[in-house]
Amino acid sequence: MSTEEGWTKEQLVERIRAKYKGEGLNPDTFMTGLLWSKPISYWDYINLDALLSLQVPRTIFPDEHVFIMYHQINELIFKMILHEIEQVAEHEGLDVAFFKSRVGRIARYFDMLVSSFSIMQHGMDIDQYMRYRNSLAPASGFQSAQYRLIELCSTDIENLIDNRFRKDYSEDWSYEDCFDKIYWQAAGVDHKTGEKSYTLEDFESKYMDRFIETAARYEDRNLYALYHKLDEEASGDEELRQVMRHLDYTVNIKWVMAHYSAARHYLNSGNTKAQATGGSEWEKYMLPRYQKRIFFPSLWTEAEIATWGVAAEEALEGG
């Protein structure tokens, strides 16, 4: 009888022995260990107890659970996205078929993040949110490092420079210069004094080294750079072009607008507009029209870039 791989049982045992020997280990020890090993369970395999012990609210409000868990789900999905990007970046002999399949996966993860954002907008009582949010300050989703890593691995750093300074970008800029002008500084720097907010300082002191390291590692292997490397084969592939455009639009318009809409739902619910926990001038800062974050600019026409996010904003105002 043969095994799933098509080997005889003897061949299978021989292969296992050869594997351990090849690693300089004694196969008999491992074969004996197998004899006494316990079968694995679902809960151990996915580390369920650890996962379900990570929800620790800071207040008495039940809806804070929704907020914490939904953020955790987002971070897990961000991790899945980074995992796919890594697969593409590390793939030897990358071809259009593999690239397209992985970009398609990433796009589906973002589709899910967009369609589920209504859990934030409609899934918590405004009263509860406006009370428990005070105990979160000065933390903010702004400090999600994985979100920034996704951006750094998706496009050239030039495309993440604050839209107001992007035209001044030069390849001579060091990574420090780039991060000094990166778009998110606008949410954390006081324009009059030039001082950084605590939220931004804290974020940068924890993650800046990792961001610089990632920007350097992905300089020639981010999704946009790899798309160019695949060049002729890729640019002739209309399906790939559409998947890339879908991803760009989903991240940089749809997700951003779903997020903005949820923020507005809560923060503008009172008589006065509430301050963001991260302290930004969030209403202006969050809109795609101002930030013009675009991962794959060569896939859009000049007119599409000029009106980036405008239709989505009008749809929100009209709806």
Q: Least distance in Å: CB of 80 to ligand HEM?
A: 13
Site string for ligand HEM, 172-201 (x = CB under 6 A): ------------x--x--------------
Nearest Cα to 294, choosing from 163, 127, 144, 174? 163
Residue 44 tokens read as 């151990």
Cβ atoms of 162 and 182 closer than 8 Å? yes
Cβ atoms of 183 and 161 closer than 8 Å? yes
Amino acid at residue number 7 = W
Nearest Cα to 114, choosing from 220, 261, 291, 310? 261
Does residue 144 interact with ligand HEM by CB under 6 A?
yes
Does residue 142 interact with ligand HEM by CB under 6 A?
yes
**Secondary structure element (H or E) that encloses residue 238, with its range:** helix 238-249
State which residue, 104 or 123, has the beta carbon closest to ligand HEM. Answer: 123
Would you call the peptide bond into 138 cis, given omega within 30 degrees of 0 as the criterion?
Answer: yes
Q: Least distance in Å: CB of 282 to ligand HEM?
A: 4
Q: Least distance in Å: CB of 120 to ligand HEM?
A: 4
Stretches 96-104, 136-144, 163-171, 239-247: which one binds ligand HEM (CB under 6 A)? 136-144
Does residue 279 interact with ligand HEM by CB under 6 A?
yes
The SS3 of residue 182 is strand
DSSP summary character for residue 226: H
Residue 208 tokens read as 């800046």
Stretches 1-9, 32-40, 216-224, 261-269: which one binds ligand HEM (CB under 6 A)? 261-269
State which residue, 120 or 243, has the beta carbon closest to ligand HEM. Answer: 120
Q: What are the backbone angles phi and psi of residue 161, rounded to the nearest 5°?
A: -70, 145
State which residue, 218 or 260, has the beta carbon closest to ligand HEM. Answer: 260
Q: Least distance in Å: CB of 8 to ligand HEM?
A: 51
- Binding residues for ligand HEM restricted to 33-72, rule: CB under 6 A: 70-71
Gap between the Cα atoms of 89 and 108, Å rounded: 19
Residue 114 tokens read as 């967009």
Does residue 85 interact with ligand HEM by CB under 6 A?
no
From residue 317, alpha-carbon distances to 111, 118, 259, 264, 311 in Å are 22, 17, 15, 12, 10
Among 277, 288, 294, 299, binds ligand HEM (CB under 6 A): 277
Residue 96 tokens read as 């259009």
Among 241, 246, 259, 289, binds ligand HEM (CB under 6 A): 259
Q: Least distance in Å: CB of 69 to ligand HEM?
A: 10
Does residue 98 interact with ligand HEM by CB under 6 A?
no
State which residue, 74 or 250, has the beta carbon closest to ligand HEM. Answer: 74
User: Which residues of this chain interact with ligand HEM, rule CB under 6 A?
Assistant: 70-71, 74, 120, 140-142, 144, 147, 184, 187, 259, 262-263, 266-267, 276-280, 282, 286
